[in-house]
Structure 1
Amino acid sequence: METMLDYINEEEATLKNILAKFTLKKDVNFKKINNLLILATGSSYNACLAAKVTLEKFAAISVTIEEPYNFNHYGRISDGIDAVLAVSQSGKSASTIDAIAKLKKEGLFTFALTSDVTSPIAEAVDEVLDLEMGIEKVGFVTKGYVTTVLQLFLLGLTIADNKGALLPEQIDFYRSELKKVISEIPNVIAKTNDFFAVHEASFKLGTRFIAIGYGPNWGTAKEFETKFTETVRKPSQGFELEAYMHGPYLEANSEHLVFFIETKSVNRARSQALKTYMAPYVGQALTITTQAAENATELGLEVECDELLSALLLVIPFQILAYKIATAKGIDLNQRIFDDFDRVLKSKV
């Protein structure tokens, strides 16, 4: 039976294959995009949040991300929106399908990013983009998450090419950088396994898990929240750096295990200052960084990586830790629970 780890170990090959096959596509609809609305939920939403800064930077556009159910019932489409992207790995998210159908009636260009190009969501849009990663059979998505992030990066380069927002040599540079980042995945996996072995005892006893990130890795922190909630099944929450400083820190106590997600950035010093302050008040304060580790509390990936691309790598340690901590706690992730949930609640079609 396939597990989360099986799909994590496929990530490097899958992303390399996608990047190798990627070609810039001329599309008059992409050339017209200035303000993009993205509809997504769950891990797809988190991946969009992680890619948002990069997509905006590459394509010189503004991106708004909405939860489709709430938007469909209570939202209002801005006059400035000129395209809508639906992101659904399965292509069966009922709320996303309903929302995209409603927006299509407004005369907007709609397209979807999905792993099933024959799915209901593919039939509801004007154009379909294939995630190119096959069908992920394990419910706790991992390979699908990083694939979504990469495909959104590549969408940014495609829109940039259509709009003339990046020079050809700039596009080539980012493609080369992505190739280097993806090649680091085996090292990231190995370093994470070693880090888990050092901290296994405290991870096993943990009852409250928190991650704090900034920039693109606010999305990483939110995916941490999703993965740990699904697998470790203990209270878990992901925060944007400054947001944590405006109230959530007040609940800190010795039962909290806090991860700080860091990249080479102007915000790194603020994150480090927060860790230094919070360390005496929590059970453990740990860092996952693209830089080298300075002590045993840090998982240093030692990757020279542009912050714009860092979310592709920094999520992988959390995917591995989610599986390993759940297993250490005796949780059998192969044992399905709430098996009738989607059928009863009609969350998928």
Structure 2
Amino acid sequence: MKSIEDYVNLEPSFYQGVLDHYDDLFVSTVKDVEVTKIDNIVIYATGSSSNAAYGALPFMSKVLGLPVQIQEPSISGNYLMNVSENSLSIAISQGGHSYSVVELVQRLQQAGHVVFSLTSELDSPLAEISDHVLSMGMPVEEMPYVSAGYSVVILDLILISLTIARQKGQLSEKEIKDYLQQIDQIVEALPSIISKSTEWVTKQLSIFSNAKRLSFVGYGATYGVAREGETKITEAVRISAWGKELEEYMHGPYLGLNNEDIVIFIEPNGKLAERSGLLKKFLNQHIQHVYTIYANHNQSLLEHDLELDLEIDELLASLFMTIPVHLLAYRLSQEKGIDLQHSAYPDFDKITSSKI
């Protein structure tokens, strides 16, 4: 069975595969749906799929010029079924077995709503009941702790939004080409990013291995990265972890600061970089370990920080900035002797019926 680290190293090939089959994966299915009347999009996802959706959300909102929101399938299915007539739903379940997603898609379709179901398993329960299935463009991830699948979902959502934007006349062909060129630039840089991230994790591992709580802070597209940091550290390392949006952290959680905390900023060098710097200035006066992962070159780089050195649109930063986070979660789990190959609670799905 492959590890999280194995799947991180497969991301360049998975990304390239999705780009190579872009038309087959998304364009033909989107063309079958009348998207010109769409006035809002709702993404239904939970766990890492939800984190990925937050990573793609700012880009989608910009290129589509529409309200785009993310909802938890269980809350939506039980309490929030007031879906507008011209809403497009995108339901995500990487394995296609999520009970809450399958149930919600059935209800939405029965009510006459258009739903795109995004999954990597095309013979799954989700795919079987869906009117419009979109393949993620990668094999089913063998690991129960998804990493490459999370990253590919971000790319998929970005490409789906570009496809819809083209069909609605929201973007020119030149604008779409420019975005695709930037994505190609990211794919080309991924091996170097993985190498730099691996080296950084190795150097800092002794510090991180003593952490009682890790907090990740991001904004814009990297809010999804911060959320994924919380998810993966909690799942794989099994210590307390937070993943907060910059302003969200500044409105309460900072009051729970402990001297032993480690805070990692996911910095895309974007609109809120100055605001982020002010928070770091405060934290450095109160705790010992404040780290920053920078998307590109930064003059504020400290010896223990990580610079991924990729000059790119901040809204695409989530396509590569989770790599060091996933590698950190994996290496810490191995440092602590945690077995990620087998479920710690094999009776969970059976008792809770969370999977079909």
Superposition TM-score tier, normalisation by shorter sequence:
over 0.9
Alignment correspondent of 2:254: 249
Alignment correspondent of 2:228: 223
User: Structure 2 counterpart of 1:119, which letter?
Assistant: S
Alignment correspondent of 2:41: 36
Alignment correspondent of 1:152: 157
Tell which deviates more after alignment, 12-21 or 242-251.
12-21
The alpha-carbon deviation at position 340 of structure 1 amounts to 1.5
Residue 259 of structure 1 is aligned with which of 246, 264, 272? 264
Alignment correspondent of 2:205: 200
User: Structure 1 counterpart of 2:321, which letter?
Assistant: L
- 8 A contact 1:37–1:81 mirrored in 2: no
The alpha-carbon deviation at position 125 of structure 1 amounts to 2.2
Distance between the aligned counterparts of 2:90 and 2:240, measured in 1? 31
**1:250-284 CA deviation, whole Å, 9 max, x = no partner?**
01111101001111212011111101110232241
User: Structure 2 counterpart of 1:318, which letter?
Assistant: V
RMSD over aligned Cα atoms: 1.4
Distance between the aligned counterparts of 1:348 and 1:217, measured in 2? 29
Extract unaligned runs of 5+ from structure 1. Answer: none
Matched, 1:17 2:22: no
Residue 304 of structure 1 is aligned with which of 280, 288, 311? 311
Distance between the aligned counterparts of 1:97 and 1:276, measured in 2? 46
Tell which deviates more after alignment, 172-181 or 19-28.
19-28
Matched, 1:338 2:337: no
**1:181-208 CA deviation, whole Å, 9 max, x = no partner?**
1111111111112212221211111110
Extract unaligned runs of 5+ from structure 2. Answer: none
- 8 A contact 1:36–1:64 mirrored in 2: yes
Distance between the aligned counterparts of 2:244 and 2:77, measured in 1? 26
Distance between the aligned counterparts of 1:82 and 1:162, measured in 2? 16
Distance between the aligned counterparts of 2:45 and 2:85, measured in 1? 19
**1:127-157 CA deviation, whole Å, 9 max, x = no partner?**
0100011110101101101110000000011
The alpha-carbon deviation at position 170 of structure 1 amounts to 0.8
The alpha-carbon deviation at position 344 of structure 1 amounts to 1.1
Alignment correspondent of 2:290: 285
Distance between the aligned counterparts of 1:78 and 1:72, measured in 2? 11
Matches within 5 A, 1:137-216: 137-216=142-221
Alignment correspondent of 1:50: 55
**1:284-318 CA deviation, whole Å, 9 max, x = no partner?**
10001112252213100000110111100111110
Tell which deviates more after alignment, 98-107 or 246-255.
98-107
* Identical pairs, percent: 36
Q: Normalised by the size of structure 2, how large is the TM-score?
A: 0.95
SS at match of 1:148: helix
Matched, 1:91 2:96: yes
- 8 A contact 1:181–1:313 mirrored in 2: yes
The alpha-carbon deviation at position 80 of structure 1 amounts to 5.8
- 8 A contact 1:37–1:64 mirrored in 2: yes
**1:78-120 CA deviation, whole Å, 9 max, x = no partner?**
4365221111101110011111111222211112000012211
Distance between the aligned counterparts of 2:38 and 2:48, measured in 1? 25
Matches within 5 A, 1:309-328: 309-328=316-335
Distance between the aligned counterparts of 1:238 and 1:81, measured in 2? 33
The alpha-carbon deviation at position 335 of structure 1 amounts to 3.9
Matched, 1:7 2:3: no
Alignment correspondent of 2:87: 82
Distance between the aligned counterparts of 1:144 and 1:196, measured in 2? 21
Distance between the aligned counterparts of 2:305 and 2:230, measured in 1? 19
Q: Normalised by the size of structure 1, how large is the TM-score?
A: 0.97
Distance between the aligned counterparts of 2:242 and 2:70, measured in 1? 20
Gap change, CA 1:104 and 1:93, over 3 Å in 2: same
Gap change, CA 1:28 and 1:78, over 3 Å in 2: closer
The alpha-carbon deviation at position 60 of structure 1 amounts to 2.2
User: Structure 2 counterpart of 1:5, which letter?
Assistant: E
- 8 A contact 2:297–2:311 mirrored in 1: no
Gap change, CA 1:139 and 1:307, over 3 Å in 2: same
Distance between the aligned counterparts of 2:240 and 2:85, measured in 1? 39
Alignment correspondent of 1:237: 242
Distance between the aligned counterparts of 1:161 and 1:272, measured in 2? 37
Distance between the aligned counterparts of 2:293 and 2:32, measured in 1? 39
Matched, 1:274 2:279: yes
Distance between the aligned counterparts of 1:18 and 1:147, measured in 2? 8
